[in-house]
Structure formats: C-alpha cells, structure tokens
Amino acid sequence: MLAFPPLLAARFVARPNRYLIVAAQDGRHVEAACRDPGRLGWLLEPGVALRLRPAAHPGRRTAFDVVLARQGRVWVSLVPTLANALFADALAGGAAPGLAGARIVRAEPTFGESRFDFLLRHRGRDLLAEVKSIGLVEGGRALFPDAPTARGVRHLRELARHARAGGRALLVFVVQRDDAHVVSPHVAVDPEFAAALGDARRAGVRLLAFRSRVDTRGARITGALPVVLPR
C-alpha cells in the first residue's frame, strides 16, 4: 500500500476554477489546490467530505492539496498522478495482473510528439505504457474521461502508430476507487477519445485496467477490470 501522510478532515464549499477548491476546515474557509482538472460535477457538491494534505512548501498561495473526496460509501482520489505511483508499486510487488515480470526501464519516455508515462521491459521486449486515472463511476462502470481530452486522444494515436510500426504499446486505466466492475470510454463526454481508443485496440495497443482500494490511510491496486468498448 502507498501510505498517505496524516490528512485533515474538511468539507467542500466551492470550486472557483479547475485548480482551486474552497473548503471548510476546522471552522474556517481555506483554499486548497485541486490536481484533478476534470469537471468533477458528479462528485463535488456543497458539504461533501474531503481530506486535505498540508502543502509541502509553506509559502505557497494555497496551504493545502485536496487528496480525497467522499462519494457515498467510497473515497475517491483527486490526485491523478497517484495512478502512476500505484501502477509502479503494483509492478514492483508483482501485483499487476497480466504484467508478471514487467519492470520499469525509464519514466517519461518520448515517442513522436508525445511524452508517455513509462517504458517497460516485459518478456524480453520494450513496452511503451501510458497510464490514465479514473475517478468517475456510474452503476459500477468506470468512465474515462469526465472532460474532453485532446492530450488523451493524441496519446492514443501515437500509441497506435507505434503498434502499427511493430512496437509494443499499452494503455493502463487505474480506477482510484473500489466500486467499479468494468471500464469503458465516456462516449457522451468525448466521442473522439472513444473512437481513438477503438482504433488503438485494433492497431494492437493492449488495454488493461485495475481497481484500487482507497481510504484515508492510503491506496493500493487490488485487481484487474475488463475494458469494454462500445460496438
């Protein structure tokens, strides 16, 4: 498990912009940085329970970072980069189903016009890997993205080009909550991403998805999920 530092209880008040949240904490209103640029309207409503982490640098404009938000019975991570750390931790511990023996060769490799998350070595060959974090779950279905993502579409097209040229490519979805049963593209929000995902799979890009156990103590990947594309 990747452990969190001690987190502070708070309640959501407002989100003036994508990167800023106003929260009620210990009887006062505080500003906290939001690392998740998604719409989050399905999650952030007045009074929703949050968990905050004090900023690493005391002189920063926002004194806190938002780490978790509560939806029903589950905690949802609002730190997209945690998905990369969870994936790397699962690889190191042999807990990433479908990738037994894989190891990270390099972080942030460049291919074409894009920078990806990892270059892996698996079964004697290089594997270019991109990780996407998911927080939105509806009826057990984890949906990505929750806002249009031109960057995500570009990544898929580059991965498909790499695969068609004979390389090995992988897209990993990490669901940062534990109530999902399947992962799918959010066609209604970003049909271009959904189309690019289907094209990537046809080109030979491997699609994997994992669910995570997330609570106020930390997070860890707990198993694999199927990726289901629209017909």
Domain hosting 88: range is 82-225
Among 213, 139, 220, 131, smallest CA distance to 177 is for 213
Among 120, 119, 118, 122, smallest CA distance to 132 is for 118
**End of a domain among 51, 76, 101?**
76
Q: Is the pTM of this model over 0.85?
A: yes
Same domain, residue pair 133 and 117: yes
Same domain, residue pair 95 and 187: yes
Same domain, residue pair 86 and 71: no
Low-confidence ranges of the chain (pLDDT < 50): none
Same domain, residue pair 11 and 90: no
CATH number at residue 44: 2.40.50.580
Decide if 6 is inside a domain: yes
Decide if 231 is inside a domain: no
- Overall number of domains in the chain: 2
Same domain, residue pair 108 and 48: no
Decide if 11 is inside a domain: yes
Same domain, residue pair 104 and 203: yes
CATH number at residue 141: 3.40.1350.60
Same domain, residue pair 23 and 87: no
pLDDT score for 57: 81
In the sheet that holds 141-144, the strands lie side by side as 137-138, 141-144, 182-185
pLDDT score for 37: 92
Same domain, residue pair 144 and 99: yes
> Taking the CB of residue 74, how many other CB atoms lie within 10 A of it?
17
How is residue 13 written in tokens?
A: 């008040």
pLDDT score for 42: 96
Instruction: Confirm if 166 and 203 have CB atoms less than 8 A apart.
Output: no
pLDDT score for 95: 93
Taking CA 105 as the corner, what is the angle to CA 142 and CA 121, rounded to the nearest 5 degrees?
75
pLDDT score for 133: 98
Same domain, residue pair 95 and 36: no
Same domain, residue pair 130 and 157: yes
Same domain, residue pair 122 and 144: yes
